[in-house]
Structure 1
Amino acid sequence: MTIVEPGGDAVVFPAMGPSRFADFGRFMVVDATARKLFAVADEVLGYRVFDELRVSEDDYAEVAQVTSFVASLALVEWSGLSGETHCAGVSFGKMAAAAHAGVLPFEEAVRLVAETARCERDYFAERHTDIVTHSFVKVTAETLDTLLAVLADADEWFEISSYLDRDMFMVSLSERALTGFKRRITEVGGYSLYTMRPPAHAGIFGELRERVDREVLSGYRLRDPLLPIVSDQDGSLVTSAEQAREWILGGFTRPMRWPGVVDTLAAQGVRRISVVGRDRLLRRLKCTVDNFATTTVAPESALRPRS
């Protein structure tokens, strides 16, 4: 790993949270850059994203994912960010990171996001309908081992899906075990945050990875990134098209490790990061605050008068 002089900047695209019309609607019509990119997305997909998002009741539906993706790239253009030395994408944020780094042209990336969302929807409608992914904080790694041992003793399946900070994790498990798991989190002084359905980032979803690879990603020609991408799975640098392919597919079956991204960015000399998109988490994590000066570029940022 080549270490550069301190002072570099990085663009980071966060994981996707619940995406609703109220979060993006005004930005989509008020900001000129957003209008331009969403018009391209409308043409690619054959429907008006704004209208579909307005009537959608699913926070993670295809249209919500497309909206989050397009808005992130519109915000990069609006902000005038340039000169960054690295980029990263956390969980779903890797789609925006891939497009930003030139792995795919914008139009193709929009289609990839939509087609992948449909593939995931169909898969989880049939498979693993009883599995959820639960996030929680204020639980150390040692205490987490104790909590997971209880699940193992009960012969319950589980996997750690995300390592977010020293005391924050996401675990995938059977829904029937969730109530007891949350109770034990509280008993050890932890705090439960939210539960995701469909679940994410677990080795048990190997069939989904294979289906996306075969039915979706095989139809695209990926390109070498124009700037290094830091993998959210192991902190490695993604610098080739083949590595980008494995990184995209790995997001289905490998846990997300934000501290690994932080360590690599810091070792690469990055001292400032711009978190682009709706972020309620990354900029607040201790490992982020301890290592970087952070700027957040969110939809509401583009709606405020420039100073």
Structure 2
Amino acid sequence: MSKVAWLFPGQGSQAVGMGVALAQAEPAARAALAEADEALGFPLSRLMAEGPEETLKLTEHTQPAILTHSTMVVRAWGARLPQPDFAAGHSLGEYSALVALGALDFRDAVRTVRERGRAMQEAVPVGVGAMAALLGMSLADVEASCAEAAAATGKVVVPANFNGPGQIVIAGHAEAVDAALEAAKARGGRKAVKLPVSAPFHSPLMEPAKARMEPVLRALAFHAPLCPLVNNVDAAAVTAPEALRDGLVRQIPGAVRWQAILELLLDEGVTTFVELGPGKVLAGLAKRQAKERNVEVSTLSLGAPEDLSQLS
């Protein structure tokens, strides 16, 4: 029997105007947006609707905005969707997944991810860290390029996001990232793109953020989810509340193992992937990875009322 996975996007999928049409069309979505405003004590809804973009792009705002948009989609349409056998979220999206699965309270989550955004931003001064995407390279070549750059500079640079075959993001000190890009070019790397982010997420430089967030996460109530969550840090299906909490703690400095998450889901027989929230990146990655395995899958990306036509 075919299985279903719900996928939840992470940072980078935000845009001014996100969730506006959905809130206008769906009372349940509008209520979720109001709940986020109340929980945070400031009008996140106005920032999502009107910007400015530079303010929305601040990590402490981006993270609750994306979580809120995903929750709006689930509240509005969740009962009409194919129900999940598994769920997964890209970095921040893991919080969205846990809210959708009833494992974490939305108000707790939206306040927590705002603090997470602040902690991650403040762990490293602006300009000290960097991230870059390396395309068309094997993991071995990326790891070798990072090791060479770290040795040459005495600084940190590591693979941070394994997004799919030939799509690996590195993170660390800015000079080490630049050196790794040069090393990658010498190894025949097809393309390298510096990412417009303000901190080296999912690298050892995030250890101060982990230390800051651990007591916050320890204080939250976690519950058994409606279905297994495939977590970022282990790419493992987990259901125990303490394992869910531990995964959120360890993912802050740990790499996002998205390629391995999709491999597990495909191995488990998932053939329908439903992306809930802003953007269509995760559905695209699932389709591409399934194609490489010669597996037929269907994908849905739901974030605005016009997307409902995909359900017909």
Q: 1:1-307 to 2 correspondence within 5 Å?
A: 6-53=1-48, 54-56=50-52, 57-58=54-55, 59-79=57-77, 80-125=80-125, 130-154=128-152, 155-186=154-185, 188-195=188-195, 196-214=197-215, 216-285=216-285, 286-289=288-291, 290=293, 291=295, 293-300=297-304, 302-303=305-306, 306=309
| Superimposed CA distance per residue, residues 68-112 of structure 1 (whole angstroms, 9 cap, x where no aligned partner) | 111112222333224221111111100101111111122222222
Q: Where in structure 2 are there 5+ consecutive unaligned residues?
A: none
User: SS of 2:251's equivalent?
Assistant: helix
Q: What's the TM-score once normalised by structure 1's chain length?
A: 0.86
After TM superposition, the structure 1 stretch with the greater mean CA deviation from structure 2, 27-36 or 228-237, is 27-36
User: SS of 1:119's equivalent?
Assistant: helix
Q: Distance in 1 between matches of 2:107 and 2:211?
A: 24
Q: Tell me, yes or no, if the aligned pair for 1:12 and 1:89 is still in contact at 8 Å.
A: yes
Shift of 1:24: 3.9
Structure 2 letter corresponding to 1:169: I
Distance change (3 Å), C-alpha of 1:28 and 1:199? farther
Shift of 1:11: 0.4
| Superimposed CA distance per residue, residues 128-179 of structure 1 (whole angstroms, 9 cap, x where no aligned partner) | 8511121221112233244224314413421111112221111112212444
Distance change (3 Å), C-alpha of 1:61 and 1:153? closer
Q: Comparing both chains, which one has the higher relative contact order based on Cα–Cα distances under 8 Å and sequence gaps of 6 or more? A: 1
Q: Tell me, yes or no, if the aligned pair for 1:88 and 1:231 is still in contact at 8 Å.
A: yes
Distance change (3 Å), C-alpha of 1:265 and 1:198? same
Q: Distance in 1 between matches of 2:35 and 2:237?
A: 31
Q: Distance in 2 between matches of 1:237 and 1:129?
A: 36
Q: Tell me, yes or no, if the aligned pair for 1:28 and 1:50 is still in contact at 8 Å.
A: no
Q: Tell me, yes or no, if the aligned pair for 2:206 and 2:253 is still in contact at 8 Å.
A: yes
Q: Tell me, yes or no, if the aligned pair for 1:160 and 1:169 is still in contact at 8 Å.
A: yes
| Superimposed CA distance per residue, residues 218-259 of structure 1 (whole angstroms, 9 cap, x where no aligned partner) | 331111222110112222111111000111111112111112
Shift of 1:185: 4.0
Shift of 1:51: 2.0
Q: Tell me, yes or no, if the aligned pair for 2:171 and 2:177 is still in contact at 8 Å.
A: no
Distance change (3 Å), C-alpha of 1:298 and 1:280? same
Q: Distance in 1 between matches of 2:146 and 2:41?
A: 46
Structure 2 letter corresponding to 1:253: P
Q: Tell me, yes or no, if the aligned pair for 1:19 and 1:60 is still in contact at 8 Å.
A: no
Q: Distance in 1 between matches of 2:19 and 2:72?
A: 12
Shift of 1:115: 2.8
Q: Tell me, yes or no, if the aligned pair for 1:133 and 1:199 is still in contact at 8 Å.
A: yes
Q: Tell me, yes or no, if the aligned pair for 1:136 and 1:191 is still in contact at 8 Å.
A: yes
Q: Distance in 1 between matches of 2:45 and 2:167?
A: 34
Structure 1 letter corresponding to 2:198: R
Q: Distance in 1 between matches of 2:76 and 2:194?
A: 31
Root-mean-square deviation (CA, aligned residues, Å) is 2.5
Q: Distance in 2 between matches of 1:142 and 1:201?
A: 19
Structure 2 letter corresponding to 1:37: A
Q: Where in structure 1 are there 5+ consecutive unaligned residues?
A: 1-5
